[in-house]
Structure 1
């Protein structure tokens, strides 16, 4: 069994990301960050028949494509990956494709409708197509789905349940009813854009996307001469319970507890250089998250040290919901690779929803060089809905 405390290496990446409400049944937003070519899918490449491909949720198609890209990025041919004890852990929450089937005539239903729309098959189809024999799970924990999937993937690799793991998330927007629900809950931006940590924040802008990363034990990745994008040191998850109401409201206390769990061992908070926040651009969520990050990490830094940088990819590509966590992860891995901290869009000091100086935080507004303060650089991808977090480092 692999040592449970062993670091996990990210050795492959595959992704595809973009970029009158009082009446019943109406949505108050007119924009979303969508991706093109959802059905531009080479089904024959994956051994899928015409009839089955025609009944597949586009989310399943994106997952197959991005899984292949992650293996390709890692330099692992499909033939070499076949019959390995590789696990698959996929986060997804949107059922738009299944909802569209409600309008179909019963006479058009085939045996492919079930597998084409089942959320469980989203993970299982990857395992079947690539002939993987490790655990294969679909996980729905709303906007934290892909980070929770990564948490369990890391656990499975450390426990020896699988030798490698493909994990990530996907989200496709195919019909308007979720927009209506979010509009009624005052959660979505009328402008259709997320504005993290800005006083202009008026809800989140929805986005589509898919992201997959390939994980291996670090020592095996080193022995195999893999390109290591980053190293996952620790992950943790929790839930708010009754600490706050309603169920959709974030709890600062539980976010702080989660961060203490992450930073109580192995890594000192002062060593963290960047936090990729959940940062959806909501008036309640952003200040809550910034406050918890400040109290546990930013204010634990030695006097005179630089403020802690935080940002959110949602200003760039929208909130991709069940793919949001892996989108943030991939952003951080790319920033590490290029040794560059990118600006957070829609934020400026004169239009901030947080007092960054008082919190000892810094939201970058220009491109900055990522200077490592020691032998490794460290960042965290943090705090999806109901609290999830992971710690990354690069050397």
Structure 2
């Protein structure tokens, strides 16, 4: 494997997304083209009390569905040295992060004892504060000294560092739906600069509370059906999802020296913001998306060599065509005449938009596809009901399982997160 000084290797993965905990279950969801949207159970909240088909009704949401994980609070706290009293007051997001961090280390073949006292960094993306909102609505008499650490966003990262005895940087990052890829960007920088010898990074999001649904319904951002339909004319907003994904990073040269299993190689990342180029603040800017793409592809990697892009693709009537147009102009149409169309897809048709975990979900999907040399279908897309003219854009949205035919010694792909604050991850080899 040819490497450069700044190349960063992904050597471990841990995840829990709708459809089942772990990589095998996630791959099964992708391979079988499964949509994991379900009716929100009463254990989360009584969605019937908050629902009204008329989106103009005050205090109501027009959906009762989301893509959810099972066993949300099935947490072995004693395994992590956490007391009964503290575990009861912990945000489920913190629990998922601990479990997936352990799985990432396990996948990398690194025992907890060996990882202890290493200068490992932790970079976590999260945005939703559902658990904290539920605490606010509880009686003040239920407050204990664990409420603060159990709900603080900073502790989501710090608890991982504390539990595993890591001494590297430990940061929680909120940049909305790009949070996990922004966390990845800064984790890669920290590894390259020597701030840490390894880094655990990723994102998490849990759906516990109905008020966010009301907000998103009023903003006309979410689908009444609770399902994301990327690049489809049927797209009517995104379907919410939840989950957690963690990847373990280290310098590629060190990974090769240590004989690690390398899932993929990150050669370049970049982030930017739309500034005041569009209104309102949530609307994507095509100009800034293209600028970010040019930043990535201006050096090291030629657009013709990129075979697949995992798009943000939330299933919104404005966002999907804007993103597809940017990808087309900068990458797809830069390919030599006669080249195959650039393949793009979105995991959100499977597991919904996992918001602060969306970027890492797309990253793990791409790593699994490269590992299995298989491109999985992007759900809900068909040529006769598309929101984009794929042929004119020189793009292809896969609708069935296909073999990933590498055009060179390595496969190359990108992961895109096009939001008001966005991140681009490029290439996996």
Q: TM-score range by the shorter chain?
A: over 0.9
Deviates more, 1:145-154 or 1:102-111: 102-111
Q: For 1:289 and 1:252, how far apart are their aligned partners in 2?
A: 7
How far off is 1:383 after superposition? 2.6
| Map 1:213-362 → 2, pairs under 5 A | 213-362=247-396
How far off is 1:384 after superposition? 3.4
Q: 1:370 to 1:6 in 2, by over 3 A?
A: same
Aligned residues: 395
How far off is 1:2 after superposition? 17
Q: 1:294 to 1:5 in 2, by over 3 A?
A: farther
Q: For 2:418 and 2:113, how far apart are their aligned partners in 1?
A: 36
Asked whether the equivalents of residues 203 and 357 of structure 2 are also in contact (C-alpha less than 8 Å), the reply is yes
Q: For 1:259 and 1:393, how far apart are their aligned partners in 2?
A: 13
How big is each residue's C-alpha offset from its partner over 1:7-41, in whole Å with a ceiling of 9 and x where there is no partner?
00000000000093221010001210011111100
How far off is 1:4 after superposition? 9.4
SS at match of 1:186: coil
The TM-score, its normalising length taken from structure 1, stands at 0.98
Q: Where in structure 2 are there 5+ consecutive unaligned residues?
A: 19-52
Asked whether the equivalents of residues 249 and 285 of structure 1 are also in contact (C-alpha less than 8 Å), the reply is yes
Deviates more, 1:131-140 or 1:98-107: 98-107
How big is each residue's C-alpha offset from its partner over 1:187-230, in whole Å with a ceiling of 9 and x where there is no partner?
00000000000000000000010000000000000000000000
Q: For 1:56 and 1:186, how far apart are their aligned partners in 2?
A: 32
Q: 1:149 to 1:58 in 2, by over 3 A?
A: same
Deviates more, 1:316-325 or 1:2-11: 2-11
The TM-score, its normalising length taken from structure 2, stands at 0.90
Q: 1:92 to 1:241 in 2, by over 3 A?
A: same
Q: For 2:290 and 2:304, how far apart are their aligned partners in 1?
A: 16
How far off is 1:389 after superposition? 3.7
Q: 1:242 to 1:392 in 2, by over 3 A?
A: closer
How far off is 1:387 after superposition? 5.0
How big is each residue's C-alpha offset from its partner over 1:219-274, in whole Å with a ceiling of 9 and x where there is no partner?
00000000000000100000000111110000000000000000000001111000
Q: Where in structure 1 are there 5+ consecutive unaligned residues?
A: none
SS at match of 1:165: strand
Q: For 1:105 and 1:217, how far apart are their aligned partners in 2?
A: 49
How far off is 1:393 after superposition? 3.9
Asked whether the equivalents of residues 126 and 153 of structure 2 are also in contact (C-alpha less than 8 Å), the reply is yes
RMSD of aligned alpha carbons: 2.1
Q: 1:368 to 1:56 in 2, by over 3 A?
A: same
SS at match of 1:188: coil
Asked whether the equivalents of residues 380 and 389 of structure 1 are also in contact (C-alpha less than 8 Å), the reply is no
Asked whether the equivalents of residues 180 and 359 of structure 2 are also in contact (C-alpha less than 8 Å), the reply is yes
Q: For 1:363 and 1:4, how far apart are their aligned partners in 2?
A: 32
Q: 1:156 to 1:313 in 2, by over 3 A?
A: same
SS at match of 1:287: helix
Asked whether the equivalents of residues 325 and 384 of structure 1 are also in contact (C-alpha less than 8 Å), the reply is no
